Amino acid sequence: MFVNYIDWDLMQVAVLLFDDFETLDVFGPVEIFGRLKDIYSIGFYSLTGGSIGNGHGVSHHTLPLEELANGTDIFLIPGGYGTRKEVQNEELVQSIRNISGKCDFILSVCTGSALLARTGLLDNKAATSNKRAFEWVSTQGINVNWQRKARWTVDGKYYTSSGVSAGIDMTLGFLSDRHGYPFAKKVADELEYLWTEDKDQDPFYELYEN
């Protein structure tokens, strides 16, 4: 599926924030979508809106998720320590479920797939997560087809990545799927980023399996 670059409407990327989100899970993909200003537009959201921070000293203003009641084009769900608490937040999980049902694409990074798994929307779908949190994440969706060896997974409209940096690789992979490989490779080169281009090539699988 290729996007027409001269579409009048930018594709909206809604980034979910919650307390103790992982910095790079968010700002890796944001760097990529953000520099493609002619195609994508980014907004930050949280359950109640306002300023949301993490233990790295980073905070960002957000709009309330209810503003996404009609869905959006792309919904980005990061991971981080905060997911440990938020998987128990029924209101947030319900909100993610409702919004995801009305989005064209849902992308999770790292332990963000735990939050997404809690909605049930990943049941019988392929998904992955951070290597070091894999056991815990797996328990958040026992019917998910968890892929331990994957830089990222794609199943229908759901993209999920391995830990932290893998969100960058996945977002480049998303660009490749939508705009073609040369387009994505050009972005990777501009970022001087050593992109793991094959989603099934997982440089960290063996490290954490041994």
Give the helix, strand, coil percentages of the chain, each rounded to 5.
35, 20, 40
State the nearest-atom distance from the C-beta of 143 to its own copies, in Å. 25
Find residue 209's DSSP bridge partners.
none
State the nearest-atom distance from the C-beta of 119 to its own copies, in Å. 24
E strand or H helix at 24: helix 23-35
Residue 55 as a binder of its own copies (CB under 8 A): the answer is yes
Q: Which member of 10, 60, 97, 178 binds its own copies (CB under 8 A)?
A: 60
Instruction: Output DSSP code: residue 144.
Output: B
Select 101 or 186, whichever has its Cβ closest to its own copies: 186
Using CB under 8 A, count the residues that bind its own copies: 43
State the nearest-atom distance from the C-beta of 112 to its own copies, in Å. 14
The C-alpha atoms of residue 170 and residue 146 are separated, in whole angstroms, by 16
Q: Residue 197 burial (CB < 10 Å; 0-12/13-18/19+)?
A: middle
Select 80 or 141, whichever has its Cβ closest to its own copies: 80
Residue 142 as a binder of its own copies (CB under 8 A): the answer is no
Select 61 or 85, whichever has its Cβ closest to its own copies: 61
The C-alpha atoms of residue 200 and residue 198 are separated, in whole angstroms, by 5
The C-alpha atoms of residue 88 and residue 204 are separated, in whole angstroms, by 29
User: What is the separation, in whole angstroms, between the first and last Cα of the chain?
Assistant: 39
Q: Token digits for 126?
A: 């392929």
Task: Answer yes or no: are the C-beta atoms of 114 and 140 closer than 8 Å.
Answer: yes
Residue 50 as a binder of its own copies (CB under 8 A): the answer is no
Q: Which member of 14, 117, 164, 170 binds its own copies (CB under 8 A)?
A: 164
Select 119 or 130, whichever has its Cβ closest to its own copies: 130
Q: Which member of 9, 38, 135, 192 binds its own copies (CB under 8 A)?
A: 192
Footprint of its own copies on this chain (CB under 8 A)?
22-24, 26-28, 30-31, 33-35, 37, 41-44, 54-61, 130-132, 162-166, 168, 189-194, 196, 203-204, 207
